[in-house]
Amino acid sequence: MNREKEKKKRKYGVFPMLVTASLVFAGCGTATTSQSEPAKNAAEQTPATKEIAFNPPKLEDAPKGELGEAIQLGYKMVTDTKATVPQNVGNNLSCISCHADGGTNKIASPLVGVTAVHPQYRDREGKVITMEDRINECFKRSMNGKPLEAGSKEMTAMIAYLTYISEGIPTGADIPWRGKSKVSLEGITPDKANGEKLYKQSCLACHGADGSGTGPASGPAVWGEHSFNDGAGLARISQMTGYIQKNMPKAEMGGVKPGELSKQQAADLAAYLLAQERPEFTGKKNDWPKGNKPKDVKY
């Protein structure tokens, strides 16, 4: 009889431990978790492929209260960056200039899952960087501005939002939609003159004859004082080529339809854009302190 009781005790005593462990590995209690309803995961594994599916939660499903307010502020910072933190932005861009739909567009450099891969080691910085470090690198380079203050309401809001849209993605996961804008230019010789021709044909209407753009979302500045500086990732021709080919044009422009640009055409456009004047990043002398600098970095 005592042996039977002991077996039952072992059987049901394990259950709470399994529940606790499952919550920990699911992301330390995600924002939409409740006792009666499981959290909606940004990443769900399909039985057939076991791959992470792209399924970010909707903003309207964010929790209420102070956490929800932080998430909403983070979303506003991503979608209207200069209006929200004007003291930190030195050009006319917003995060959505590169990361469409608040970073939840699967094609345009999505931010979904970014918190799951930080901290991470980066050659450019020559050290392990945190999510906060990565955000501030974007402010200093892509926004040509100033970093957010550590522990500030704004930094907390950015982390809250990025964590929310990344909920359910395991730490260190191999995320299939990341890094898609990076391409190899082996066998490609960019033609700047053809890039100028293509720009005037299919890009000028949105980005302007002088590259100053028509708006951070409708047509971001692609060169000049209102664009990203030369320390930004897009200042590398390999990354600019990949981004252009994958994302441009948004609609048919000058006879070119979305998805029709070849790698050669995208490289030609990238060469033309990056040959124009843009702000200089004063901290670039500290980049790649341990070597491994990519060949297409101009400095």
**What are the start-end ranges of the E strands in the chain?**
120-122, 127-129
- pLDDT tens-digit profile of 255-284? 999 999 999 999 999 999 999 999 999 999
Whether the CB-CB separation of 142 and 216 falls below 8 Å is answered with: no
Q: What is the pLDDT of residue 180?
A: 80
Q: What is the DSSP letter of 227?
A: S
Distance CA 158, CA 257 (A): 34
HEC letters along 162-180 = HHHHCCCCCCCCCCCCCCC
Kindly tell me the sign of the dihedral angle through the C-alpha atoms of 223, 263, 120, 169. positive
Exposure string of 141-171, with b = 16+ CB inside 10 Å and e = fewer, is bbbbbebbeeeeebbbbbbbbbbbbbbbbee
Question: Around Cβ 46, how many Cβ atoms within 10 Å?
Answer: 9
Q: What is the pLDDT of residue 10?
A: 40
Provide the pLDDT confidence category of residue 179 given band limits of 50, 70 and 90. confident
Q: What is the pTM of this model?
A: 0.81
Contact residues for 170 (Cβ-Cβ < 8 A; gap 6+): 25, 43, 116
- pLDDT tens-digit profile of 142-173? 999 999 999 999 999 999 999 999 999 999 88
Higher per-residue pLDDT: 157 or 53: 157
Residue 279 to residues 34, 143, 187, 254, Cα–Cα distance (Å):
48, 10, 30, 29
Q: Is the pLDDT of residue 6 over 50?
A: no
Provide the pLDDT confidence category of residue 182 given band limits of 50, 70 and 90. confident
SS3 128: strand
Residues 37-50, mean pLDDT to the nearest whole number: 45
Q: Please, what is the average pLDDT of the chain? A: 86
Q: What is the pLDDT of residue 206?
A: 96
Q: What is the pLDDT of residue 147?
A: 98
Q: What is the pLDDT of residue 119?
A: 96
Query: Token digits for 200?
Result: 């005037």
Q: Is the pLDDT of residue 299 over 70?
A: yes
Distance, CA of 120 to chain centre: 15
Higher per-residue pLDDT: 52 or 165: 165
Q: What is the pLDDT of residue 240?
A: 97
What whole-number percentage of the chain has pLDDT above 70?
Answer: 83
Question: Around Cβ 231, how many Cβ atoms within 10 Å?
Answer: 24
- pLDDT tens-digit profile of 215-254? 999 999 999 999 999 999 999 999 999 999 999 999 999 8
